[in-house]
């Protein structure tokens, strides 16, 4: 993702060395469109510098701290020596992650994605999650629910979630669904409770699976499953709903499974 604006003093930026002179180093900023900064020789490294080329090389990717920005003269002053090893490593990791997310945008919306649509999605992700990568990661873990707080339309959300789940590696995924349980029998309350116990697995859910059933509002209950991968999570969610349905219909009640919450609309 390339920003069209300017970095702020104090920011850490990633760039590529494109020119080396005796008085300093010119760096093209990788994250900003058409922006180039100068690292004065005194900011290349600590101590006395005999030869700048002993410290940097052409086409080298570097992390620099922004010292000053003068938009009127199109000048950005940078420092290499003010960046420690931890900052350098963390910034590079974040930059690589954003490059991955940039590729995922092309997968989700096509190589010829319009600048306007790209900006809409990117701004929504930045506002809600802080970065493009974090947005895709949340979409992979939590599905469409992760994007409920954005202004993206349903088609955009579906494209993002599909791309995220096919490309983002996450330590676990979470999926949710809702089941409506009703029973008009005299022992209806107990029958519903038995159906909920069945939904929770009666203690037989695999250890690596976290399954939780919570009350939303009569007659709706939320089933939340956390699992090592999306396929397993979906399978466990469907199995939980099926157990609840079987338990209550066998006793004269009804069950209906759905993915979106309905109570607020009733």
Task: Give percent above pLDDT 70 in the chain.
Answer: 97
Query: When comparing pLDDT for 140 and 60, which is higher?
Result: 60
What gap in Å lies between CA 173 and CA 136, rounded to an integer?
12
The beta-carbon contacts of 207-216 under 8 Å, at least 24 apart in sequence, are 209/236, 211/236, 211/240, 213/240, 213/244, 216/178, 216/261, 216/263
Q: Which CATH class is domain 173-265?
A: alpha beta
Average pLDDT over residues 153-182: 91
- For the beta sheet containing 254-258, the strands, ordered from the edge strand earlier in sequence to the opposite edge, are 210-217, 220-227, 173-182, 254-258
> Is the predicted pLDDT of residue 262 greater than 70, yes or no?
no
Angle formed by the axes of helices 85-109 and 154-167, nearest 10°: 120
87-167: which CATH topology?
A: DNA polymerase; domain 1 (1.10.150)
Looking at residue 266, its pLDDT comes to: 44
> Is the predicted pLDDT of residue 265 greater than 70, yes or no?
no
Check whether domain 12-83 has CATH 3.40.50.300, yes or no:
no
Segments making up each domain of the chain, as ranges:
12-83, 87-167, 173-265
What gap in Å lies between CA 139 and CA 157, rounded to an integer?
9
Assign 36 to helix, strand or coil. strand
Strand 75-79 with 254-258, pairing: unpaired
pTM of the model: 0.61
Average pLDDT over residues 122-148: 90
Q: Where are the alpha helices (DSSP H) in 110-229?
A: 115-129, 132-142, 154-167, 188-199
From the list 148, 165, 31, 162, the residue with the least C-alpha distance to 109 is 162
> Is the predicted pLDDT of residue 264 greater than 60, yes or no?
no
Average pLDDT over residues 134-162: 91
Looking at residue 202, its pLDDT comes to: 78
Q: 81: which 2 tokens?
A: 């020596």
CB 158 within 8 A of CB 144: yes
């Amino acid at each position: 993702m390339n920003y069209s604006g300017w970095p702020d003093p104090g920011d850490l930026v990633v760039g590529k060395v494109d020119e080396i002179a005796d008085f300093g180093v010119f760096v093209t900023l990788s994250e900003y469109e058409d922006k180039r900064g100068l690292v004065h020789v005194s900011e290349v490294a600590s101590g006395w510098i005999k030869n700048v080329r002993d410290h940097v090389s052409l086409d080298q990717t570097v992390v620099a701290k922004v010292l000053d920005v003068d938009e009127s003269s199109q000048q950005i002053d940078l420092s290499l020596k003010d960046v420690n090893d931890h900052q350098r490593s963390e910034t590079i990791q974040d930059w690589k992650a954003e490059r991955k997310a940039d590729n995922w945008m092309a997968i989700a919306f096509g190589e010829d994605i319009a600048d306007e649509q790209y900006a809409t999605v990117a701004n929504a992700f930045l506002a809600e999650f802080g970065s493009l990568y974090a947005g895709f990661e949340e979409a992979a873990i939590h599905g469409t629910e992760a994007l409920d707080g954005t202004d993206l339309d349903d088609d955009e959300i579906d494209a993002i979630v599909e791309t995220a789940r096919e490309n983002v590696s996450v330590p676990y995924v979470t999926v949710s669904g809702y089941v409506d349980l009703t029973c008009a029998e005299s022992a209806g309350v107990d029958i519903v409770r038995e159906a909920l116990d069945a939904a929770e697995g009666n203690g037989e859910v695999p250890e690596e699976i976290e399954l939780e059933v919570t009350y939303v509002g009569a007659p709706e209950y939320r089933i939340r499953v956390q699992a090592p991968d999306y396929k397993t999570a979906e399978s466990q969610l469907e199995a939980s709903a099926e157990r609840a349905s079987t338990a209550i219909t066998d006793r004269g009640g009804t069950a209906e499974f759905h993915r979106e919450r309905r109570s607020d609309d009733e």
